[in-house]
Structure formats: C-alpha cells, structure tokens
Amino acid sequence: MRRAVFLPALLLVLVWLALAGGRNWLGPVALVQGLLDRQDFLIYGLRLPRLLIAVGAGMALGMAGALMQGLTRNPLATPDIIGLTQGAGLGFAIALLMDLPLLAGAACGSALAVVCVALLAQGRGALAFVLFGIGIGATAAAATTVLLVLAPDAKAARAMIWLSGSLARADLATAGWVWLVLLAGGALVALRAHRLGLLWLGDDVMASLGVDLSRMRILVLGLVTALTAASTLAVGPIGFVAFVAAPLARAISGAEAPAIWPAALTGACLLVAADLMARLIAPVAVFPTGLVMGVIGAPYLIFFLWRDRQEAR
C-alpha cells in the first residue's frame, strides 16, 4: 500500500517545486501569497499555465502509452514510436500554416497516422505494427520539415519552437484544451476500467471474458488518438514520455499491467520534472523540454532493447 502513494506524493512535490522553482525561487510564504493573488504574473502568467500543461500533457501521454502497449501487447508500440505523435505534428503544422483550428489539425494527423499503421500492419503481427509505425512516423516528420522550410518565416519560427517540444509559450487556453480531452478520456477509462484491465491478455482471452474486440479496439485507438493529439498540441511531439511511463510506473508502484492511472501519474511526473530541468538549465533562453526528455528517454530505449534481448535468451 505504501508503494501506491509514492507516485501521487512525488507529483505533489514536483508540482510544488515547479511553482516555486525557476530563475526566482519562491519560499513557501511567497508561493502561497502568489497563489492567492490572481494578479501575480509570475504564478498566473508563467508558471501555472506551464505546470498545468506539463501535468495534463504528461498524464495524457502516460495513459496513451499504457493503453497502446496493452492493446498491442508490445512495450514498443507507443504513440511516440509508432508515428502518432509525428502524425499529430504534421496535422498541427498544416493547421498552423492554413489558419485552421490547431487541436482539430493535430487530432486529424494522429488519427490518419493510426489508420495508416493499422491498415498497413493488418494481419502481419505485432512487430509489423511497430515497423510500419516507425515508417509512418518518419514520413510525417519529414513532411512536417518540408512544410516548415517552405513556410513564411514568422509561422515557421513558431512551429519550430513547438516542434522541439517547448513549454515556453504555455497559455491557459491551451491548458484548457488539454485538460478537457484528458478529463473526457479519463472518464471513459474509468467507465471501462474493468475491460481495460484485460489489455495484455490477448484477443482470445479478452473475447472469452466478454470483451467485444472491435469495440475495444475502436475505444482504445480513439482514446490514444485524442490523448496524443491534445498533448502534442500543447507540448509538441515530445518523445519517450508515453514509452517509458507505464513500465516505469509498474516498477515504482508495483501496479499490475496495464497500470493506466499509475502511468498517467508517472507521465505527469516525468514531464513536470523535465520542464523544471529545462527551466533551471536555461532560465532565460527557450530550452525545449522535449530535449530533456530525449536525453532521459533515448538511453532508456537502448537499455530496454538490450535487456529485452537478454530476457529472450
């Protein structure tokens, strides 16, 4: 039981650090005063929107990763690795250049990516899902870069900052969108919690335990698409959060797979911590949070593949 409270406690500590920490450290008294004063620019103008986005997007990514890993029974098949994030990025860039609604653009992009991957990999097994996903992701990322090279400077500059996964432009409106999608997705996950607990057991066992497989796939893919799109809208295509959240959550909290809620908490912790680090490393410059996640996540991917190989022997 004690392990179960560790993640929420860690998140609370990180939330406090994120509000208090930065170029100007606030003591407990100053922090409470700032929170009580709605006019306080440092809290309400800068740190709180950034924190809300980091927590919301982190939870969304953690959940999306845990759901996708469970559905495909493959720890590698997370939205950031199989191209959903990159698809959302492409959709976002197109929407930005054409002045369309950004969330809709990101959602269409990730939905298109997941449909492409699912169609291409249909009936070819779990590995094909990952490999086609990597291909789709690379294609979408390349297309995004081409678009931005051709785009007018002002828009391209904004998109480039966003693409590197920065939270520097955080505002409360974006945070609102992220939380709206997160709460709706969370409510669906809670409603279907017992069924979703069967992810990882495979199609036959799920079907024999009363799961309508096609409805389950639509539910999970829909949730993953929406959660990925919302988080990508807010923080850009940040990698590795979705990938490491669920395995890390299981290791820390001892929760049983698919560990959707612990993964959400872990995702939030990761993103808040990475953003805090980004702000501490470069308080003035816009240091992208995505870079911090990359520095943490990329070695973990290598470690994961190495360990997986060891276990397979």
Partner 1 sequence: MMTNSLFSIENLSLRLGGRQIYDGFSGALPNGGLTGIVGPNGCGKSTLLRCLAGVQQPDSGRIVFQGGPLAGLSAVERAQSMAYLPQNPPLVPDMSVAGLVAKGRTPWRKAFRPLSDADHDAIESALLATGLSDLRATRLSALSGGQRQRVWLALALAQDTPVILLDEPTAFLDLQHQLSLLRLLRQLADERQRSIVMVLHELTLAGRFCDHLLGLRDGQLICAGPAEQVITPDTVAALYDLQAEVARDPVFQKPVVYPRE
| Contact residues: partner 1, CB under 8 A | 73, 190-195, 197-198, 200-205, 207-212, 250, 256-257
Residue 229 tokens, joined:
């799109």
What is the closest distance, in whole angstroms, from the C-beta atom of residue 194 to partner 1 in the complex? 5
Which of 25, 58, 304 is CA-nearest to residue 165?
58
Please report how many Cα atoms fall inside a 13 Å half-sphere around the Cα of residue 302, on the Cβ side. 5
Return the number of the residue (54 or 264) whose C-beta is nearest partner 1. Answer: 264
What is the closest distance, in whole angstroms, from the C-beta atom of residue 200 to partner 1 in the complex? 6
What is the closest distance, in whole angstroms, from the C-beta atom of residue 70 to partner 1 in the complex? 9
Return the number of the residue (255 or 273) whose C-beta is nearest partner 1. Answer: 255
Return the number of the residue (152 or 210) whose C-beta is nearest partner 1. Answer: 210
Which of 216, 267, 306 is CA-nearest to residue 10?
267
Residue 279 tokens, joined:
């702000």
The dihedral sign for the CA sequence 12, 18, 19, 21: positive
Return the number of the residue (66 or 291) whose C-beta is nearest partner 1. Answer: 66
Please report how many Cα atoms fall inside a 13 Å half-sphere around the Cα of residue 167, on the Cβ side. 34
Return the number of the residue (50 or 250) whose C-beta is nearest partner 1. Answer: 250
What is the closest distance, in whole angstroms, from the C-beta atom of residue 74 to partner 1 in the complex? 11
What is the closest distance, in whole angstroms, from the C-beta atom of residue 6 to partner 1 in the complex? 19
132: left (phi over 0), alpha (psi -120 to 50) or beta: alpha
What is the closest distance, in whole angstroms, from the C-beta atom of residue 210 to partner 1 in the complex? 3
Residue 289's alpha-carbon distances to 9, 213, 227, 271, in angstroms, are 22, 37, 19, 8
Report d(CA 91, CA 191) in Å as an integer.
Answer: 30
Place of tokens 């590995």: 127
Return the number of the residue (39 or 208) whose C-beta is nearest partner 1. Answer: 208
